[in-house]
Amino acid sequence: MKINFVESIPPRRLFVILATLMPILLLTLGLSIVSASVPAEALTQPAQTQDASMITISIALAISLPALAAGYALAKSGSAAISSLVEKPETFFKAFLVVTLCEAIAIYGLIIAILLWLRI
């Protein structure tokens, strides 16, 4: 058995494993942070409990769905950007712009989640 087992995993499979686990980890982290930030007195009132739980679910969706979309968009457009850079190195700025816009999708989701979190 190898000491460093990551070297034995092919890079493509390692990427698929990390791409599968990352949204789950982000969703779990988002839910735990939001549920820890809800004050205890807000949980004793039934109307606020339902509102806080709906906002918590909204925060989890606002983090996880854009992260999944950004990962998918980055996987598709990133490989196309790399192949265009191999053929024409002068297309670097366009390729960089497309990859940056894919990353911005996840950042927009994080901003919406923070705005929802401040509402609680």
Q: What is the Cα–Cα distance from 117 to 5, expressed in whole angstroms?
A: 39
Nearest-10 crossing angle of helices 46-87, 11-37: 150
Residue 113 covered by a domain = yes
The contacts of residue 30 (CB under 8 Å, 6+ apart) are: 59, 60, 63, 64, 113
The answer to the question of residue 28 being in a domain is: no
**Residue 5 lies inside a defined structural domain of this protein:** no
The whole-number pLDDT of residue 84 equals: 84
**pLDDT value of position 116:** 85
Read off the pTM: 0.55
DSSP-assigned letters across all residues of 68-108: HHHHHHHHHHHHHHHHHHHH-GGGHHHHHHHHHHHHHHHHH
Tally of structural domains, the chain: 1
95 found inside a domain: yes
CATH number at residue 63: 1.20.20
**pLDDT at site 92:** 85
* Domain interval for residue 59: 52-120
pLDDT at res. 54: 82
Q: Residue 39 has what pLDDT?
A: 61
Question: Residue 36: what pLDDT?
Answer: 63
Tokens linked to 81: 């950007």
| Residue 16 in domain | no
Tell me, yes or no, whether 18 lies in a domain: no
pLDDT in tens, the chain (120 residues): 455 555 666 666 666 676 677 777 776 776 666 666 666 555 555 545 567 778 888 888 888 888 888 888 888 888 888 888 888 888 888 888 888 888 888 888 888 888 888 876
Whether 6 is covered by a domain: the verdict is no
